[in-house]
Structure 1
């Protein structure tokens, strides 16, 4: 088990280093921050002083070396826009995204497991066909389109929920609903397929022959043995929520790390961009490691 964890951690570390190098150099291609943060009539001397203060006058490789040295001391630099440590700004946004992702995945997992299991129990029936139809639409629909339609219908036309913000529980309904749809559709399909296989196995047929009730057959005997592929997909979708909430957060004005990342790219706040991507990537790597550990515990054959 120790060697298994070490292999996964080393793979994640290599990926993280590559991501840092790539993002550092690509972010510099967006332009000069001095052109955004200084007035139009700023003199060359003012621009030069601004770049000197923020370490932007050095050659690109020298800037990268300084950044790596600071990073080794857990110094992520300062936000140009907010004049605060970049990591503090990012962690504030990440907390919002983390809450949104956790609430969404708890709801998605519970609903998808129940719907997928019931659909598999009577495969080919009306509920199965209806659940498959809805889940396929959900898995295929683009998030930005659902978000815009949701705002137009439920916020503007009906006035049931606010269009943006986080002030009350009503502000969370649309973002959660939009993020709910795609993973729900995908997980329902995986649960259904895995449960159909489990329900056709010998131990389930034996349980039915012994007169075991329907609910224990579905949610105890069959589901327990169908969890392996389901756990993997749930983990992948949870990681995708952390990584892919950018569009939804931007549309709804949700103050998460996704919106922060977009704003920082547009405003050339390089340190915040790098810190946001690194924190998100690290969270995803940790989540993937936990998924691998859970997978290896359920199936010891993959540990080697």
Structure 2
């Protein structure tokens, strides 16, 4: 097990290094921050002074070497726009994204497992047809379109919900609901398919022949053996949410890391962009590692 964890850690570290290198050099192609932050009438001397203060006068390779050295000392640099450590700026936004992702995934996981399991148990019935159609529509619906329609209907039309912000619980309803739809549809489909295979197995037929009730058959005997592919999809969807749910956060003005990343790119705040990518990538790596450990807990064969 420890060998497996070490191998995954090394592979993830290599990916993280490649990501940092690519983003560092590509972000420099977005333009000169001095042209954005200084007024148009600023003199060339003022521009040079701005670049000197923020270390932008040096060659790109020198800037990269300095950034890597600071990164090895856990220093992500300062935000150009906010004049604060970039790590602090990203950490504040990441807390909001983490809360949004956690609330959404808890609701999605519970609802999808229950609906998918019951649909498989009553395969071909009315509930199964409704659940399959609903989940297929949810998995196919574009998030940005659902978000815009939700704002038009529930905020502009009915006036029930606020369009943006995080001040009350009502501000969370639409972002959570919109983010809920797509992963719910995908996970229900996977749960249903995996449960159909599990419910047709010999041990389930034996349990039914012995008179075991439906609930233990579904949620004790079959579900445990059907969970491996389900965990994979849950992990992928959770990683997508942790990656910022960029479009949804931007549409609803949610102060998460996705919106922060878009703002930082537009503002050419390079250190914030890199810090956001580093922290998000590290969180996704930890999540994937936990999913692998969950595999081993569910299937003892994987431990060996």
> What is the rounded CA distance, in whole Å, between the counterparts of 2:178 and 2:241 in structure 1?
11
> What is the rounded CA distance, in whole Å, between the counterparts of 2:88 and 2:260 in structure 1?
12
The equivalent residue for 2:282 is 282
**TM-score (ref. length: structure 2):** 0.98
Instruction: Please report how far the alpha carbon of residue 232 of structure 1 lies from its aligned counterpart in structure 2 after TM superposition.
Output: 1.4
Instruction: Please report how far the alpha carbon of residue 215 of structure 1 lies from its aligned counterpart in structure 2 after TM superposition.
Output: 1.1
My pick for the range that moved more, 284-293 or 48-57, is 284-293
> What is the rounded CA distance, in whole Å, between the counterparts of 2:41 and 2:166 in structure 1?
38
Q: Assess if the C-alpha contact under 8 Å between 2:146 and 2:178 holds in 1.
A: yes
Unmatched runs of 5 consecutive residues or more in structure 1: none
The equivalent residue for 1:66 is 66
Instruction: Please report how far the alpha carbon of residue 296 of structure 1 lies from its aligned counterpart in structure 2 after TM superposition.
Output: 2.8
My pick for the range that moved more, 245-254 or 285-294, is 285-294
The equivalent residue for 2:256 is 256
> What is the rounded CA distance, in whole Å, between the counterparts of 1:253 and 1:146 in structure 2?
15
> What is the rounded CA distance, in whole Å, between the counterparts of 2:227 and 2:302 in structure 1?
16
The equivalent residue for 1:153 is 153
The equivalent residue for 1:164 is 164
Instruction: Please report how far the alpha carbon of residue 251 of structure 1 lies from its aligned counterpart in structure 2 after TM superposition.
Output: 0.2
Q: Assess if the C-alpha contact under 8 Å between 1:150 and 1:174 holds in 2.
A: yes
For residues 49-198 of structure 1, what are the structure 2 equivalents within 5 Å? 49-198=49-198
Q: Assess if the C-alpha contact under 8 Å between 2:224 and 2:298 holds in 1.
A: no
Q: Assess if the C-alpha contact under 8 Å between 1:55 and 1:63 holds in 2.
A: yes
The equivalent residue for 2:296 is 296
Does 2:46 match 1:41?
no
The equivalent residue for 2:205 is 205
Q: Assess if the C-alpha contact under 8 Å between 1:232 and 1:295 holds in 2.
A: no
CA RMSD of aligned residues (A): 1.0
Instruction: Please report how far the alpha carbon of residue 207 of structure 1 lies from its aligned counterpart in structure 2 after TM superposition.
Output: 1.4
Unmatched runs of 5 consecutive residues or more in structure 2: none
> What is the rounded CA distance, in whole Å, between the counterparts of 2:302 and 2:23 in structure 1?
33
Give the aligned length.
304
Q: Assess if the C-alpha contact under 8 Å between 2:97 and 2:244 holds in 1.
A: no
My pick for the range that moved more, 88-97 or 128-137, is 128-137
Secondary structure of the residue aligned to 1:207 is helix
Instruction: Please report how far the alpha carbon of residue 37 of structure 1 lies from its aligned counterpart in structure 2 after TM superposition.
Output: 0.7
> What is the rounded CA distance, in whole Å, between the counterparts of 1:222 and 1:141 in structure 2?
30
Aligned CA distance change for structure 1 residues 186 and 290 (closer, same or farther; 3 Å): same
